[in-house]
Amino acid sequence: MCKSPLHPLLVALPKCEHHMHLEGSLAPSLLFSLAHRNGISLPSPDDDPAFASPDTLLDRYARFTSLDDFLRYYYIGMSALTHAEDFEALAWEYFVRAHADGVVHAEVFFDPQAHTSRGIRYETVVDGFITGCRKAEKEFGMSTKLILCFLRHLPVSEAVSTFDNAKNDLMTGRLAGIGLDSSEKGFPPGAWKVIYDQAQDSNIKRTAHAGEEGPVEYIKEALETLNIERIDHGIRLAEDETLMREVARRNILVTLCPLSNVWLHCVDSVAELPVRTFLDNGVPFSLNSDDPAYFGDHYILDNWCAVQEAFSLTVGEWKNIASTSIKGSWCEDNRKNVMLSTLDGVVDAHAKAR
């Protein structure tokens, strides 16, 4: 818990999450349980001592050296997911934690290629995740969206096949849009132009990871070549003032993941992130948890608290961040209006309590 006097407000504010990988919420305890249930062999502790127990694996997660170091364990974890019920259980565990942190709307990523490449049917993955989403909507009253991501370390041709397979779900709204994730360095986003052009022609929402470990030029390329409507991570944006002003002018949301950036050594501390720069220059952004099970079990509230500890934001600035997150969501206007009304009520109640 942060020590700021605004902590009760941070807890109460309605939160929208736009950057959270469902596979990245796979806690070691659930990983070991699913692997045992499904007869999946995890690496031997003789080969990697991290896999001696859930606790030793969690300890290894605290010592990631880079994005690619993290991704190695991320993809090993996915191997335990086999049945639709596994994907449902994974989604449900995330939504329980998100609800406890005050999330009222969640737009979550998933990586179908990581599963179809090992023989799991696309439908199994989507059906399981959607069941988890519907359960969260019913039990918690939150709204949810699923965003399909392509893995940039795999051939573009495989992404094309995945897009073709998912096209009906994307066109009908069963899936909310497409994204691009995985290893960034050495994989400039323009290679996926053929998919993003088709998505734009079909009015499918588009986002992409850019400017996390990769250079600011990747952000520019994603905007100009892929015509993305949202920037995931985007911490290098502040290095190009002209591009930053353009993003602000076009009101393109940047989905920051503060603690993830520290855990993967993109920055040394949250204070190095361009939060103040974005606020001062009118760049819209949201604050998100990315892959919380791998990054210290830090879900969205911890990220909000870390930002408050680093920047000492005002009530007005937090209201602006929460409002921007709501307005930048890929949900219907009537849902946004409900969340904005809730936000006003929370801020008013905080003011009266002072």
pLDDT digit string (tens) for 263-298?
Answer: 999 999 999 999 999 999 999 999 999 999 999 999
Average pLDDT estimate for 215-240: 98
Distances (CA, A) of 107 to 42, 142, 197, 252: 30, 11, 22, 16
Average pLDDT estimate for 243-255: 98
Average pLDDT estimate for 301-329: 98
pLDDT reported for residue 67: 84
pLDDT reported for residue 2: 81
Residue 302 has pLDDT above 60, yes or no: yes
Average pLDDT estimate for 337-346: 98
Q: Give the separation between CA 197 and CA 296, rounded to whole angstroms.
A: 37
In sequence order, which residues have a C-beta less than 8 Å from that of residue 283 and are 6 or more positions away? 237, 244, 247, 248, 254, 274, 277
Q: Give the separation between CA 188 and CA 34, rounded to whole angstroms.
A: 35
pLDDT reported for residue 106: 98
pLDDT reported for residue 20: 98
Q: For residue 153, what are its two tokens?
A: 């370390």
pLDDT reported for residue 354: 75
Residue-wise pLDDT tens digits, 323-333: 999 999 999 99
On whether the CB atoms of residues 76 and 43 are closer than 8 A, the answer is yes
Distances (CA, A) of 155 to 160, 193, 207, 222, 282: 9, 13, 19, 18, 37
pLDDT reported for residue 4: 87
Q: Cite the DSSP H helix spans in 39-111.
A: 54-61, 67-78, 84-100
Q: For residue 211, what are its two tokens?
A: 């400017």
pLDDT reported for residue 353: 85
Q: Give the separation between CA 190 and CA 192, rounded to whole angstroms.
A: 5
Residue-wise pLDDT tens digits, 53-102: 999 999 999 999 998 899 899 999 999 999 999 999 999 999 999 999 99
Pick left, alpha or beta for residue 76 (phi over 0 → left; psi -120 to 50 → alpha; otherwise beta).
alpha
pLDDT reported for residue 3: 81
In sequence order, which residues have a C-beta less than 8 Å from that of residue 238 and are 6 or more positions away? 244, 274, 277, 278
pLDDT reported for residue 180: 98
Residue-wise pLDDT tens digits, 141-184: 999 999 999 999 999 999 999 999 999 999 999 999 999 999 89
Q: Could you say which of 88, 184, 212, 213 is catalytic?
A: 212
Average pLDDT estimate for 40-62: 95
Cβ neighbour number for residue 126 with a 10 Å cutoff: 22
pLDDT reported for residue 42: 95
Mean of the per-residue pLDDT values of the chain:
96
Percentage of the chain beyond pLDDT 70 is: 100
Pick left, alpha or beta for residue 352 (phi over 0 → left; psi -120 to 50 → alpha; otherwise beta).
alpha
Residue 138 has pLDDT above 80, yes or no: yes
- Any bridge partners for residue 146, and if so which? 108
Q: Catalytic: 137?
A: no
Average pLDDT estimate for 341-351: 96
Eight-class DSSP state of 182 = S
Q: Cite the DSSP H helix spans in 111-202.
A: 112-116, 122-140, 156-172, 193-201
pLDDT reported for residue 1: 56
Secondary structure percentages of the chain, helix, strand, coil, to 5: 55, 15, 30
